[in-house]
Every structure is written in structure tokens, then in C-alpha cells.
Chain A
Amino acid sequence: MPRINSPAELEELRKGILSNRDPNRPCITLCSGTACHASGSEEVAASIEEEIKKQGLSAEVDFRKTGCHGFCERGPIVVIHPEGICYLQIEPKDIPEIISQTIKEKKVIERLLYTDPTTNKKIVHESEIPFYKNQERLVFGSNGKIDPKSIDDYLALGGYSALAKVLSQMPPEQVLEEVKKSNLRGRGGGGFPTGRKWEECRNAPGEIRYVIVNADEGDPGAYMDRSLLEGNPHSVLEGLIIGAYAIGSHEGYIYVRQEYPFAVENVDIAIKQAEEYGLLGKNILGSGFDFTVKVHRGAGAFVSGESSALMTALEGRVGEPRPKYIHTVIKGVWDKPSNLNNVETWATVPLIINKGADWFRGIGTEGSKGTKIFSLVGKVNNTGLVEVPMGMTLREIIFNIGGGIRDGKKFKAVQTGGPSGGVIPEKYIDLPIDFDELTKAGSMMGSGGMIVMDEDTCMVDTARYFLNFLAHESCGKCVPCREGIKQMLNILTDITEGRGEKGDIELLEEVAAMVKDFSLCALGATAPNPVLSTLQYFRDEYVAHIEQKRCPAHVCKPLISYYIDPEKCQACMICLRQCPVGAISGGKNQIHVIDQAKCTKCNTCFEVCPPRFSAVRRLSGEPVPPPVKDRVLVRRKG
């Protein structure tokens, strides 16, 4: 690769890349993000490569393995360019037909298209599928167009032009002003104004400064940072170099979880390519500005995503937080001023530089500008990553983009902000989502996890789930967090296992207040949120668990029993055969009965009972009716 020595040479190179690319040449793109990979995209890729060769099209068709397209529910996703024909849930056996029909004959294969669930119409183009149509994909949109292992793909889309602009036309102070003016707020959770953070770091005393990408995405149910870093690593890198220039830093780190092997691999490749082109290293684009970056793999500790803990880990020590009387922008890694931002924040920077702070301020709400990528998961029809302008309502996100609740169930709540966040109940479905509105509703933005819950989700169990997570992930350094979380978990476990007592709710609230006020870092300070927000909106569920020993959602095992309704049982033997512990007695023409002493409440009978019978019931807060002797089978007609 030739080294690029000036912005003009960069433009020359870009022109060269574009002139070798015919926009009308057929190109098959395949989503190869982690989720599609798990759904078998590797086998599909092998099949595409083989079939292109077999049908003699190697010279006429391009094939590109891209980053995550976001519509994980329907992966693996194949998009045929230039038409933009989108095929979903592709298997290797579909490939010969795609090549012979769509590539050669230009015919659309109906059965592989998306079917709109409301109109039943087939949708040909990716951009017209409601999941995509209602989004505004500014940061995430390029993911589906580029091979993350190819810097040329990124350059072809205008990549590194913001860096060239900054280095040739804008002094660092002006870059800083532009980012401040944009009102960009940190996408990692706190929502701190990015420009202000940069300025504090720039003005901190000392010669050496560090800039850091936080890709230690640890919230369960959130994977937007991974998909961005894995799918478009150069956009993050470009943002980081611009930030380093504005702050006056010459060394950076990318802290990425070891559990994200593709992200680690792709970011390593991206750094190497950028170094070869001279976009990293000494005298970048002939500007005199030097900057190098190192990758540090995180080893699996939620608390290490906290800024001071992350910086301790960068020094090779156990990633525990420290008190932040002195902020990390003043004393961070090796006690030097250090500026840490999240993946999405860095990736937004080049857009702001290219299009201007005023353009960015035109998107979003008064207090939260721009777009945000959410990880929309749980009991929603269209699981995936969605990018929307700040201020979009929950209803629009969950129903218009997410396609509503699975299996026709009723929406109950949405959990945002991960283990530090809270739940938002149905009555706030029209809440416009931004940093401040979510905080007002008792939750938080967090990094963008959005877990949709339906009527079958128990809120006490949800709170217990998060506290259990936090009890494991608390580093144990400070007592309020280590002991307080444990005590809250004990109380919640008692409640979900039928040992709840009067006064438990008040005790929970008391401990929560203590943990919130006296913990060392944000992990502890926000740990009570899952408890407090479920108490705020679903107190009646706690009361039912404690006073009636009843779990209204039929989730908490010790509070439920399985029962076969003798009026409905058709003695079909299905549950009887599948019960793993042999707890069901009966026979052909003999109504089945569950032996309550043997039953392990594994839910198998409930799942396998044919829906047309629906004979298995889950009871809670009421005794199981005794088996009726010599009950005659009532055969249903039809």
C-alpha cells in the first residue's frame, strides 16, 4: 500500500478506488456480524463463493461479507446490489437459485422476501421494510455496505475525509468548538457532554495525554457497540484520531472485550491498514500530527467498563474503580490526563465534522441531539439494532420498527439502561426517548439496551435477575455495594421463593437508599435502580408475592404448580411421554395427572400440550385441585 502524504493524495486515492468500481456491477452482500454468524452465515458465504465460480460469474459479480445490518431476527441477510433486493433467513440451499435467477436473470425470488405482517405484501428492497424504513441510520448505516476488513471500502464511502478536513483546515481549538457546539453527549450511559470532556482533558496540566475507546460493552442484552466496531471499525478509528488531535494526545487505546473475537480481529486489521496508509503513525497526512493506537483486550468483568476501572486495567492491574475526587480527564491512565468515550460517541464525531454542528443539532430533542442506536431485544417481533433520532417515542420504536410483541401477547414494560437502569411501564409508551426523559421516568439511557417485556415477565424476578448479576459483578472493594447488593438479593430471592414477609419492601427501600448514596462507583450507585423502578411501577406484584404467595406472571418456580385440567385433557400422551421426570400418570383414554411431589416445574408439559387442547395450566396462589378418581375422558369433536 502506498503511504498517503497529504489530503490531496487521499482524494487521489479515493478517486482511484471509485474509478475501479462500477456502481452498476452486481454485488452480493452478506451480513456477517456475530448474530448472523451464529445463524449460519459462514456456510452461506461458502456456498455463495462456490456457486459464483460454478456458474462462471467470477469476473462479473462481486461478493462482500459486510458487518451487521441490524435485522438480526431475520438473519442471515443477503442484499443484491445495485437493485437493493433483500433476501432474509438465507440458507446455503437458496444460493444456486439466487445466483441463477436474481443475478443472471434479474428475477426476484418471492419466497425469500420480507412479508409485511399487516398487509401481507412482499417487500423487495431493504429500505422499504418497516424495520428499516422508520429508522434514521446515520452512524450505523454504512455497516451493511462495507467489508469491515477493507479500508478501501470505507474510503469509497468518503471515509477519512473528516480527518483530512480537520488536519488541513481546522486548528484543534476549532475542532473542539465544533464538537462542543454540536451538543454531542456520551453514548456510553452517562450522557456527559463530549466537547466539555475533551476540553477538560485538553486543558489538564501535563505533556502526555491519552484517548481511549471504551468497547467493554457489558450490559446484558446490548450489542450495538460490538456491531459498530466489528462492522465499521474505521469510523471509530477516524473519530478517535480527530479527538486525539483536538485534545492534543498522541497515544490511544481501544479497550475491547475478549468475548468479541470479530471486533478484536477487525479493529486489529483496521489499525494495520490505517498505519500502512499513514493515517496513523507519524506525520499523519503530512500535517505534522503524530498518533498511535493500541488494542487492549478486556477479560470479562462488567465493572471494568467503568472509566477509572478500565484505566486501571489498561495498566495491567485488576480492573477495579477508584474514587473520582480527581477526574480521569486530569489523572487517568498512568496518572496522565485521559479522555475516554464510548464506541458510538467516537463514530459520531466524523459525521459532525463533515456535516457541521448545526446539522447535528437539527436532529433530536432540546437536551439530546443526534441519533442513538438501540439494541431492541426480548419479547419483540423484530429483534435487532435500530438507530433513531433522539425523541422518538417508545411506541414508535417497539411497534413501528420492532413490529410489536411476539406471539400476540400484551406489552408490559421495557427495560432500558441495563443493570443500572429501570423499567418503564405501558402507561409511558408515548414517552419520547432521550437522556433526560428516561431519567425522569426512573430509568436511564445507558448504552442503549432496550429489553421488551410481555405479560409473561415477572417484575420481581426481573429485579432479582439484575441484582444477581450485580452481586456477581461487584468488585467487592467498597462495603455498601458488596454487602448491600447481597442483602437486597437475599430479600428478593426470599420473595420469589415464597419466603417473603411483611416489611420486606420497606427494608428493600432502606437498603437501596444506602447503597445508592454510599457506593464508590456508578455500579453501586445505580445498582438499586432495577429494584426501585419495579417497586415504583409494579408494587402490586411484590405484594402478591409476599402476601398471597402468588406470582401473577407464573414465572417464580416455587410459587407455581402445574395442573392438567381434566375437562380439557384428551389423553394424547404427549406430555406424559416428554416429562423428563416421569411425573405424569395416565394412559390412552385415561386422563393425565401430574404428581405434584415428583414435578420439577420444568414447563415441558405446558409447552408441548397442543394449543387446541390447552389442558396444562399454571396455578399460582391457589391449591392444586385433587385428582378426580375414575374421571371419564370427554372427547372433543373436531
Chain B
Amino acid sequence: MVNRSMTTEEISRVDQIIDKYEGEEGILIQLLLDIQQELDWIPKEVAERISQRLNIPQSQIYRVASFYTAMSLTPRGRHLVSVCMGTACHIRGAPRLLDRITDVLKIQPGETSSDRRFTLNTVNCLGCCALGPVMVVDGKYHGKLTPAEAEEVLKNYD
């Protein structure tokens, strides 16, 4: 599935993003962020396309894309689960929350379940420490969670 080829529609969307930055200097990070936002990941074909069109070596594209956590080189599952591991959440029990979530989803942070239902991520801080420990599923915040409550929340997504 990682190698699924892109549709012509996807390629034209990528081209439009590249058009926006063509001729400017120092744009690689901004360009890749836009593509990440558009496609939810950065497929191999896209790296090739950028390299061809903007004359940037692929090694440089992969260097940037693998350095930053906001960019993903593998496709994501249908639901993105992010668990905040910030200091405030940590001392309020985030590690126990994460343990239960990895048990339930049977994947480790950074992985996608084999049925592509969930991708699990940890984040350094979401800056809503009053709600800690926090888990975000598809942009919806679930705060002051116990491990048992987190398990219940995850049952609602298929």
C-alpha cells in the first residue's frame, strides 16, 4: 500500500503547490508542509516530482522530510491518535495512558495498525496543560483521561 501510485488528480494538486513556490529560495520546508497537509503524507512519487521540477536533489528532500516530525513518509490510518507527552501530562499520568492505548491498538507510537484504522503518535506538548493527560483523535480533544476512559473513546472510531 505504501507504493500505491498516485492518481492524476493528486499529481495535479501537487503540481499546483509546487507552482506556488517555483523560483523562490529556501522554500523546501514550507513546500513539504503544504504537501503533507494536502495528502497527509509524502509519497515517493512526490519527492521525485519535486526533485525534477525544482532541481532539488532527492537526498535533500528526504533529509528534510525525515528530520521533522510534522512530515510523514508513510501513509496514515483513517484515524490519527495523538497522545500528549508534555511534562504536565507526564506527571499527571500520560505514560500509563499511552501504555493502555498501545495495548488496545496493538501498535507503538509512530505506527499504523495493519487494518489502517489507527495511526498512533506522541506529541511533545499540545499546550492545553489544564486538560492533562490529553489524547486527540482526529482533532477532537479528550482531556483529563484515565486509561479506562481512553479505551472507551477509541471504541467509537472504526
User: Given the interface contacts A35-B131, A379-B92, does A465 sit within 8 Å of B143 by beta carbon?
Assistant: no
Q: Are A258 and B33 in contact (CB under 8 A)?
A: yes
Residue among A39, A222, A449, A475 making CB contact with B131, cutoff 8 Å: A39
Q: Which residues of B contact A449 (CB under 8 A)?
A: 87
Binary interface encoding of chain B residues 129-150 relative to chain A, with 1 for a CB under 8 A from any of its CBs, else 0? 1111010000001010011100
Q: Which residues of A contact B130 (CB under 8 A)?
A: 35, 39, 72-73, 75, 377, 383-384
Please report the C-alpha to C-alpha distance between residue A418 and residue B32 in the assembled complex, in whole angstroms.
29
Q: Which residues of B contact A383 (CB under 8 A)?
A: 88, 129-130
A317 contacts partner chain B, Cβ-Cβ < 8 Å? yes
Within the complex, what minimum Cβ distance (angstroms) separates B96 from chain A?
A: 5
Q: Are A469 and B124 in contact (CB under 8 A)?
A: yes
Residue among B28, B86, B93, B127 making CB contact with A35, cutoff 8 Å: B127
Q: Which residues of B contact A462 (CB under 8 A)?
A: 91
Q: Are B127 and A39 in contact (CB under 8 A)?
A: no
How many positions in chain B have a CB within 8 Å of any CB in the partner chain? 45
Q: Are B91 and A299 in contact (CB under 8 A)?
A: no
Q: Are B25 and A258 in contact (CB under 8 A)?
A: no
Question: Which residues of A261-305 are within 8 A (CB) of B?
Answer: 296-297, 299-302
Q: Which residues of A contact B127 (CB under 8 A)?
A: 34-35, 222-223, 226-227, 260
A457 contacts partner chain B, Cβ-Cβ < 8 Å? yes
Question: Which residues of B58-87 are within 8 A (CB) of A?
Answer: 60, 63-64, 67-71, 85-87
Q: Which residues of A contact B27 (CB under 8 A)?
A: 316
Binary interface encoding of chain B residues 17-46 relative to chain A, with 1 for a CB under 8 A from any of its CBs, else 0? 000000001111110110000000000000
Binary interface encoding of chain A residues 163-185 relative to chain B, with 1 for a CB under 8 A from any of its CBs, else 0? 00000000000000000000000
Q: Which residues of A contact B70 (CB under 8 A)?
A: 258-259, 299-300
A55 contacts partner chain B, Cβ-Cβ < 8 Å? no
A219 contacts partner chain B, Cβ-Cβ < 8 Å? yes
Question: Which residues of A425-469 are within 8 A (CB) of B?
Answer: 449, 451, 453, 456-457, 462, 465-466, 469
User: Given the interface contacts A259-B70, A302-B124, does A39 sit within 8 Å of B143 by beta carbon?
Assistant: yes
User: Given the interface contacts A34-B128, A72-B129, A580-B103, does A379 sit within 8 Å of B91 by beta carbon?
Assistant: yes
Q: Are A317 and B28 in contact (CB under 8 A)?
A: yes
Residue among B32, B67, B129 making CB contact with A223, cutoff 8 Å: B129
User: Given the interface contacts A38-B128, A38-B141, A258-B70, does A221 sit within 8 Å of B88 by beta carbon?
Assistant: yes
B123 contacts partner chain A, Cβ-Cβ < 8 Å? yes
Residue on B nearest A72 in the bound complex, by CB: B130
Q: Which residues of B contact A301 (CB under 8 A)?
A: 67-69
Within the complex, what minimum Cβ distance (angstroms) separates B50 from chain A?
A: 12
Within the complex, what minimum Cβ distance (angstroms) separates A378 from chain B?
A: 5
Q: Which residues of B contact A475 (CB under 8 A)?
A: 67
Q: Are A220 and B125 in contact (CB under 8 A)?
A: yes
Q: Which residues of A contact B91 (CB under 8 A)?
A: 378-379, 451, 453, 456-457, 462
Q: Are A378 and B88 in contact (CB under 8 A)?
A: yes
Q: Which residues of B contact A227 (CB under 8 A)?
A: 127
Q: Are B87 and A220 in contact (CB under 8 A)?
A: yes
Q: Are A607 and B85 in contact (CB under 8 A)?
A: no
Please report the C-alpha to C-alpha distance between residue A99 and residue B69 in the assembled complex, in whole angstroms.
45
Q: Which residues of A contact B99 (CB under 8 A)?
A: 600, 602
Q: Are B30 and A296 in contact (CB under 8 A)?
A: yes
Q: Are B68 and A315 in contact (CB under 8 A)?
A: no
B49 contacts partner chain A, Cβ-Cβ < 8 Å? no
A578 contacts partner chain B, Cβ-Cβ < 8 Å? yes
A313 contacts partner chain B, Cβ-Cβ < 8 Å? yes
Residue on A nearest B84 in the bound complex, by CB: A220
Q: Are B90 and A465 in contact (CB under 8 A)?
A: yes
Within the complex, what minimum Cβ distance (angstroms) separates A474 from chain B?
A: 12
Q: Are B68 and A299 in contact (CB under 8 A)?
A: yes
Q: Which residues of A contact B100 (CB under 8 A)?
A: 580, 602
Please report the C-alpha to C-alpha distance between residue A306 and residue B148 in the assembled complex, in whole angstroms.
39
Q: Are B87 and A415 in contact (CB under 8 A)?
A: yes
Within the complex, what minimum Cβ distance (angstroms) separates A212 from chain B?
A: 13
Q: Are B71 and A218 in contact (CB under 8 A)?
A: no
Residue among B68, B96, B129 making CB contact with A300, cutoff 8 Å: B68
Residue among A313, A316, A318, A377 making CB contact with B129, cutoff 8 Å: A377
Q: Which residues of A contact B26 (CB under 8 A)?
A: 314-317
> How extensive is the interface on chain A, given as a class?
35 or more
Within the complex, what minimum Cβ distance (angstroms) separates B61 from chain A?
A: 11
Residue among A260, A318, A604 making CB contact with B67, cutoff 8 Å: A318
User: Given the interface contacts A38-B128, A378-B129, does A318 sit within 8 Å of B63 by beta carbon?
Assistant: yes
Residue on A nearest B88 in the bound complex, by CB: A377
Please report the C-alpha to C-alpha distance between residue A248 and residue B86 in the assembled complex, in whole angstroms.
39
A101 contacts partner chain B, Cβ-Cβ < 8 Å? no
Q: Which residues of B contact A302 (CB under 8 A)?
A: 124
User: Given the interface contacts A226-B127, A258-B33, does A378 sit within 8 Å of B64 by beta carbon?
Assistant: no
Residue among A260, A297, A316, A580 making CB contact with B28, cutoff 8 Å: A316
Q: Which residues of A contact B132 (CB under 8 A)?
A: 377
Q: Which residues of B contact A299 (CB under 8 A)?
A: 29, 32-33, 64, 68-71
Within the complex, what minimum Cβ distance (angstroms) separates A293 from chain B?
A: 15
A596 contacts partner chain B, Cβ-Cβ < 8 Å? no
Within the complex, what minimum Cβ distance (angstroms) separates B84 from chain A?
A: 8
Residue on B nearest A217 in the bound complex, by CB: B127
Residue on B nearest A316 in the bound complex, by CB: B26
User: Given the interface contacts A259-B123, A301-B67, does A375 sit within 8 Å of B129 by beta carbon?
Assistant: yes
Please report the C-alpha to C-alpha distance between residue A277 and residue B51 in the assembled complex, in whole angstroms.
40
Of the listed residues A38, A300, A453, A475, the one surrounded by the most CB atoms of chain B closer than 10 A to its CB is: A38
Please report the C-alpha to C-alpha distance between residue A316 and residue B31 in the assembled complex, in whole angstroms.
9
Residue on A nearest B100 in the bound complex, by CB: A602
Q: Are B29 and A313 in contact (CB under 8 A)?
A: yes
Q: Are A604 and B68 in contact (CB under 8 A)?
A: no
Q: Which residues of A contact B146 (CB under 8 A)?
A: 604, 607
Question: Which residues of B104-135 are within 8 A (CB) of A?
Answer: 123-132, 134
A589 contacts partner chain B, Cβ-Cβ < 8 Å? no
Please report the C-alpha to C-alpha distance between residue A38 and residue B129 in the assembled complex, in whole angstroms.
11
Of the listed residues B85, B86, B100, B126, the one surrounded by the most CB atoms of chain A closer than 10 A to its CB is: B86
Residue on B nearest A419 in the bound complex, by CB: B87
A603 contacts partner chain B, Cβ-Cβ < 8 Å? yes
User: Given the interface contacts A296-B30, A457-B91, A580-B100, does A220 sit within 8 Å of B148 by beta carbon?
Assistant: no
Residue on A nearest B143 in the bound complex, by CB: A38
Of the listed residues B68, B69, B87, B148, the one surrounded by the most CB atoms of chain A closer than 10 A to its CB is: B87
Please report the C-alpha to C-alpha distance between residue A38 and residue B137 in the assembled complex, in whole angstroms.
12
Q: Are B148 and A578 in contact (CB under 8 A)?
A: yes
Q: Are B124 and A220 in contact (CB under 8 A)?
A: yes
Please report the C-alpha to C-alpha distance between residue A469 and residue B90 in the assembled complex, in whole angstroms.
11
Please report the C-alpha to C-alpha distance between residue A473 and residue B92 in the assembled complex, in whole angstroms.
22
Q: Which residues of B contact A318 (CB under 8 A)?
A: 63-64, 67
Q: Which residues of A contact B134 (CB under 8 A)?
A: 38
For this complex, 7 residue pairs linking A to B, each with C-beta atoms less than 8 Å apart, are: A34-B127, A221-B86, A227-B127, A301-B69, A317-B26, A377-B87, A604-B148
Additional A-B contact list (14), CB under 8 Å, known A38-B134, A316-B28:
A218-B124, A220-B125, A258-B33, A258-B70, A296-B29, A300-B70, A301-B67, A301-B69, A375-B129, A378-B91, A379-B91, A580-B151, A602-B99, A602-B100
6 A-B pairs with least C-beta separation: A223-B127, A316-B26, A299-B68, A377-B129, A220-B86, A38-B141
